[in-house]
Amino acid sequence: AVYHEQYRPQIHFSPKAHWMNDPNGMVYNEGVYHLFFQYYPGASVWGPMHWGHATSTNLVHWQEQPIALYPDSLGFIFSGSAVVDKNNTSGFGKGGKVPLVAIYTSHDTAGERAGRNDYENQSIAYSLDNGKTWTKYSGNPVVKNPGIRDFRDPKVSWNEAANKWIMTLATKDRITFFSSPDLKNWTKESEFGEKLGAHGGVWECPDLFPLDYNGQKVWVLIVNINPGGPNGGSATQYFTGNFDGHTFTPDDTTTKWLDYGPDEYAGITWSNTGERKIFLGWMSNWEYANVVPTEKWRSATTIPRELGIKKINNQFLVTSQPVKELNSITKPFTTLTNVKATDYTVASTTKLTTPYKLSLTTDAVKDFSITFSNKSGEQLVIGFDKATNQYYIDRTKAGESSFKQSFAAKTVAPRFAQKASIDLVLIIDAASVELFADSGLTTMTAIFFPEDLLNQIHVQSTGGVVLKSLQLSSMQSIWK
């Protein structure tokens, strides 16, 4: 499909029509990246949840597929994950075919209306044709609710130490880990987090995986939270530490956020991608997701991001960077070196007609701001403030915002890097910006709704920052 609607993301996945929220069941199998997602095909607002489906062979170009999972007698199909069951532990495989197994929450609204506490239970389904068609397991649900109202979003992965599948489940104000030899029978292992991290809202959509730090395995536990994010509403926090197959032990007690912007939520990683850990989130916020001014469809995903880990001040921090696959649609537009940017116009033409990527490196850690504007006079201001050591995104004048009072805001994120210069990558689409600073140590995502593309770029710096290098690249639409 080729899309021309106002605000339609050109380099991010969005469904052709109607509502989407969380990414679900992200799994790589036989050359295909699967992206399932919370989907309501009946309207462009949240409703009875299905799993929509899109596929890609390169993480860049997506093809929307038929709906994968429909609500059933156990309820709506809420968020969850998918695994490649290589050893056929589930027994779902037939004739040598390796099953894909989806693990999701069955959310029973009738039970909820009746005032029960046990209306969220975990179910499974399998596919023997690489995700095209799915069969729900007759023994569902496989994890029964013990009486906790928020009991959902299972993320399952194979754990070597346990020699079992581990399910990481969001259970209200903590994570509960379960183990299973076969994806059908689950045993509770442990709980984590009741007294750690942010608790301004309910815990949702977790993930658990190791990252390699110079040969050391560092376990990352992602816990999405709504509300209570650093810039209001929903956001993605994480913990670093160790998971021994039974229990997660954090290595520090600070609250850390994977993305400090207002519009990355429910982000988790793909399974079965080997050493790479590829993260993608829903690019919105529950504060206003249902009322943003796109009526044909609502919401998109972030770009896929490769996660890494760095140690700063004796603390592990997860880094995010755009996946390298995006380079295939990125073409140089303007390249500059050593420009003193007291008051400097990078692009003032209307020639820049596509989404774009702006990468720059400064000579020093100094204040600067970049104003992105269009012919309608709308502007988005992104910059760094040395006094507070913060990056910021100011969307107060970046377009339509009347749908929600708190939307027109300036949001901030801490700088963690300690080196003496700043590097910044910004990816700007029709209605979003993603900021990756200091090789991904600080990440921010924000949406906005301008009349047309913000294709004029102007840098200001009272301290006269020198842009050691600046590259502006146009990005080609992923829709054909």
Q: Is 467 in the site for ligand FRU (CB under 6 A)?
A: no
Q: Give the per-residue SS3 of the chain.
A: CCCCCCCCCCCCCCCCCEEEEEEEEEEEECCEEEEEEEEECCCCCCCCCEEEEEEECCCCCCEEEEEEECCECCEEEEEEEEEECCCCCCCCCCCCCCCEEEEEEEECHHHHHCCCCCCEEEEEEEECCCCCCCEECCCCCCECCCCCCCEEEEEEEEECCCCEEEEEEEECCEEEEEEECCCCCCEEEEEECCCCCCCCCEEEEEEEEEEEECCEEEEEEEEEEECCCCCCCCEEEEEEEEECCCCEEECCCCCEEEECCCCCEEEEECECCCCCCEEEEECCCCCCHHHCCCCCEECCECCCEEEEEEEECCEEEEEEEECHHHHHHEEEEEEEEEEECCEEEEECCCCCCCCEEEEEEECCCCCEEEEEECCCCCEEEEEEECCCCEEEEEEEECCCCCCCHHHCCEEEEECCCCCCCCEEEEEEECCEEEEEECCCCEEEEEECCCCCCCCEEEEECCCCCEEEEEEEEEECCCCC
User: Residue from 167, 218, 266, 413 that binds ligand FRU (CB under 6 A)?
Assistant: 266
Minimum distance of ligand FRU from residue 141's CB (angstroms) = 14
Q: How far is the CB of 44 from ligand FRU (least distance, A)?
A: 14
22 counts as binding ligand FRU under rule CB under 6 A: yes
- Of these, 78, 238, 407, 448, which contacts ligand FRU (CB under 6 A)? 78
Residue tagged active-site, from 22, 85, 259, 394: 22
Q: Which is nearer to ligand FRU, 191 or 451 (CB)?
A: 191
Q: Does 38 bind ligand FRU (CB under 6 A)?
A: yes
Q: Residue 74 or 408: which CB sits closer to ligand FRU? A: 74
Closer by beta carbon to ligand FRU, 202 or else 309: 202
204 binds ligand FRU (CB under 6 A): yes
Whose Cβ is closer to ligand FRU: residue 152's or residue 164's?
152
Q: Can you tell me which of 64, 85, 153, 287 binds ligand FRU, judged by CB under 6 A?
A: 153
Q: Which of 103, 183, 205, 472 binds ligand FRU (CB under 6 A)?
A: 205
Q: Is 381 helix (H, G, I), strand (E, B) or coil?
A: strand
Q: Which residues, 370 to 409, sit near ligand FRU by CB under 6 A?
A: none
Which position among 14, 21, 56, 121 is part of the footprint of ligand FRU (CB under 6 A)? 21
State yes or no: is 22 an active-site residue.
yes
- 264 lies in the site for ligand FRU, by CB under 6 A: no
CB of 109 to ligand FRU, least distance (A): 11
To ligand FRU, the closest distance from the beta carbon of 227 in angstroms equals 11
Q: Is 85 in the site for ligand FRU (CB under 6 A)?
A: no
Minimum distance from residue 52 beta carbon to ligand FRU (Å): 11
By C-beta, is 39 or 126 nearer to ligand FRU?
39
Q: Is 79 in the site for ligand FRU (CB under 6 A)?
A: yes
Query: Contact between 26 and ligand FRU (CB under 6 A)?
Result: no
Q: Does 152 interact with ligand FRU (rule: CB under 6 A)?
A: yes
Polymer length of the chain: 480
Shortest CB 223 distance to ligand FRU, Å:
11
Would you please indicate which residues are annotated as catalytic (active-site) residues? 22
Catalog residues that contact ligand FRU under the rule CB under 6 A. Answer: 21-22, 38, 49, 78-79, 105, 152-153, 204-205, 266
